[in-house]
Amino acid sequence: MPMNVEQARKVFERVTEAIISHKEYLTELDSAIGDADHGINMSRGFVKAQEKIKAGAYTEVGGVFKDVAMTLMGSVGGASGPLYGTLFMRMSMKFGTKQEVNSADFVEAFEEGLKGILALGKAQLEDKTMVDALTPALEAMKAAASNGEDLPAVLEKGIASAEDGMKRTIPLVAKKGRASYLGERSAGHQDPGATSTFLILSAMLEGLRG
């Protein structure tokens, strides 16, 4: 099952709903090791992105992703807006003029998006960031796509690995962002960025399935 324009709209509609419903949870996680605003900022950004998508007319999947990216960059405070904005902008550029995106297209674009995040945030695995969820998700999706699995199946594999990566952030000591200021005290808390990554991928699958 490839993703067409209408499915891309549905994907981000579901992502918005998921972020809104988990706003307090994400903020609670962020209150332990950050600025206590991750859920609030992400919710505001995706609500605005959803408004933009509803008002837009699209002929290409990349156009949907581009509008989400630009809205997040312009409306989400802290590091999350630029980082998630970079992910979706790089994906939109990789999609090009495609009206449908298959599993191979999605994985190639996701890899390009992660490269953008790594270049911007300079984070590595086990720095206790969203990279700890994004990297294993990508590896799992690449393996599934190379085996010829369709996009929903590829996302399923990515979600499982993202969840594992998210949980693995709990004992880590943060080395990037606000959480790094806490040093050893950041251990024992789940990273909010890795958590929102897991939520977004999970919601994407739900949206794709309709």
Checking if the pLDDT of 84 tops 80, the result is yes
Give me the pLDDT at residue 210, please.
84
pLDDT over 80 at 181, yes or no: no
Q: Give the span between the Cα atoms of 192 and 39, in whole angstroms.
A: 8
pLDDT score of 72:
97
Q: Kindly state the average pLDDT of the residues 108-131.
A: 96
Q: What's the distance, CA 4 to chain centroid?
A: 19
**Is the pLDDT score of 28 beyond 90?**
yes
Provide the pLDDT for residue 185. Answer: 84
Q: Give me the chain's average pLDDT, please.
A: 95
Distance CA 146, CA 160 (A): 17
Could you read off the pLDDT of 58-80 as tens digits, one per residue? 999 999 999 999 999 998 877 89
| pLDDT bracket for residue 184 (50, 70, 90) | confident
When pLDDT is averaged across residues 25-35 and rounded to a whole number, the result is 92
Q: Please give the pLDDT value at position 83.
A: 96
CB-based burial of residue 97 (10 Å sphere; 0-12 exposed, 13-18 middle, 19+ buried)? exposed
Q: Which fold has domain 3-209?
A: 1.25.40
Q: Residue 173: how many CB atoms within 10 A of its CB?
A: 16
Query: What are the pLDDT digits (tens) for 125-161?
Result: 999 999 999 999 999 999 999 999 999 999 999 999 9
Residue 177 has pLDDT above 90, yes or no: no
How confident is the model at residue 77, as a pLDDT? 74
* pLDDT number for residue 209: 93
Residue percentage of the chain with pLDDT more than 70: 100
| Upper half-sphere CA count for residue 113 (Cβ side, 13 Å) | 31
Contacts of residue 86, defined as CB under 8 A and 6 or more positions apart, other chains included, come to 69, 73, 113, 116, 117, 120
State mean pLDDT over 156-173: 97
